[in-house]
Amino acid sequence: MSGTAQTAQSLLDKATGRLSRAGIADAALDAETLLRHVLGWDRARLVTGAREFVTQAEAARFHSLVDERAARRPLQHLVGTQAFWRHEFLVTPDVLIPRPETEILVEAALARLAPLERPRVVDVGTGSGAIALSIAAELAGAEVHATDVSEPALAVARTNARQLGLEARVQFHCGDLLAPVRGLRFDAILSNPPYVDRADAASLAPEVRDHEPALALFPAEGDAYAVYRRLIPAAAPLLREGGWLLLEVGQGMADTVAGLCTQAGFTVEAVLRDLQGIPRTVVARVAERAP
Ligand SMILES: C[S@@+](CC[C@H](N)C(=O)[O-])C[C@H]1O[C@@H](n2cnc3c(N)ncnc32)[C@H](O)[C@@H]1O
């Protein structure tokens, strides 16, 4: 790149073209996000400052981020955060980048738990802590637990808890599924488990396949349903009477997962669709005992 001074707008125009040619769908938005990250500007400031010149150091930093994005590194790894529910979460290559569709699970859990004074909840496979911390932030009386097999993921979740002032509200446990909390009884068990079949790895976007943790995408062994097959029967005895199991599922998986819930003695209360109309969240409930 030449050393000629450039305006914010001219940097954006060139970067948008570069990212489009690299196959990035939201090229303009990504370019804008990266430039705002470098300049420390919000959107309004970018509108008013579009014709301002940026320093050579800022332009160089921006070009290097655009290079990395053109090589299909996730935008969130370049800026370091992802918005989820009401907060910004630190994300690193050790955790899944929280997805907007997972907010459906959070919303459904909150609607059911809000009437309870002191609900006890566990988020299985917490990753960045997005689900557990969003629930803890909304429900002041809740006792929230979160498990993950990945210590590096839990380190990110603990950092997020600290940054959100929620470290005293969520207990993080390292271990397999519900094993670390076996002695407790819950009002809700929530999980967005790994559910991608390894055979489908080649069809994933490079951002996902090459940069997100395999542990977060693929069940450690078996097919796409392997974690559900272990988690659903293990969840039933850990729920209090009338407690809920809320599970995120991959596209086309809801019927089979709902069937696994029914087999384990749950009543399937709802299957919620995401904004694209894909059945995404299975809401199951353990039977209330007869009086
Ligand atoms: C799809 S990610 C979900 C992360 C986060 N809950 C979210 O929704 O953004 C799945 C998470 O489950 C964890 N995981 C995978 N196998 C596990 C197991 N057997 N027990 C506990 N956690 C597991 C992974 O390390 C990963 O953090």
Chain centroid to CA 146: 14
Residues 245, 203 within the same domain: yes
Residues 27, 133 within the same domain: no
Domain stops at, among 71, 92, 112: 71
Centre of ligand 1 to C-alpha 179, Å, is 14
pLDDT at 95 over 80: yes
Among protein residues, the one whose CA lies closest to atom 4 of ligand 1: 127
The domain that contains 125 carries what CATH number? 3.40.50.150
Number of structural domains, the chain?
2
Residues 130, 205 within the same domain: yes
CA dist 264 to 81, 163, 245, Å? 38, 38, 11
Residues 97, 183 within the same domain: yes
Pocket test for ligand 1, best of 89, 133, 149, 190 (most atoms within 8 A of CB): 149
pLDDT at 287 (0 to 100): 78
Centre of ligand 1 to C-alpha 10, Å, is 41
pLDDT bucket at 47, cuts 50 / 70 / 90 = very high
Is residue 51 in some structural domain?
A: yes
Domain stops at, among 21, 36, 71: 71
pLDDT at 1 (0 to 100): 46
CA dist 257 to 216, 232, 266, Å? 18, 9, 11
238-289 pLDDT, tens digit per residue, is 999 999 999 999 999 999 999 999 999 999 999 999 999 999 999 999 976 5
Residues 89, 129 within the same domain: yes
Is residue 291 in some structural domain?
A: no
160 lines ligand 1 (CB under 6 A): no
Q: Which residue segment(s) compose the domain that 29 sits in?
A: 8-71
Please calculate the CA angle 93-95-100 and round it to the nearest 5 degrees: 115
Residues 17, 132 within the same domain: no
180 lines ligand 1 (CB under 6 A): no
Give 108-156 as a DSSP string.
HHHHHHTTSSS-EEEEES-TTTHHHHHHHHH-TT-EEEEEES-HHHHHH
Residues 186, 236 within the same domain: yes
Residues 25, 166 within the same domain: no
Is residue 170 in some structural domain?
A: yes
Centre of ligand 1 to C-alpha 98, Å, is 11
Q: For the chain, what is the mean pLDDT?
A: 96
Average pLDDT on 68-83 reads 98
Average pLDDT on 151-180 reads 98
The domain that contains 43 carries what CATH number? 1.10.8
pLDDT bucket at 4, cuts 50 / 70 / 90 = confident
- Residue position matching structure tokens 């919620």: 272
Residues 58, 191 within the same domain: no
Among protein residues, the one whose CA lies closest to atom 17 of ligand 1: 149
Rounded Cα gap, residues 283 and 291, in angstroms: 24
Pocket test for ligand 1, best of 84, 192, 246 (most atoms within 8 A of CB): 192
Average pLDDT on 6-14 reads 97
Among protein residues, the one whose CA lies closest to atom 13 of ligand 1: 125
Domain stops at, among 36, 71, 106: 71
Residues 232, 149 within the same domain: yes
Residues 22, 113 within the same domain: no
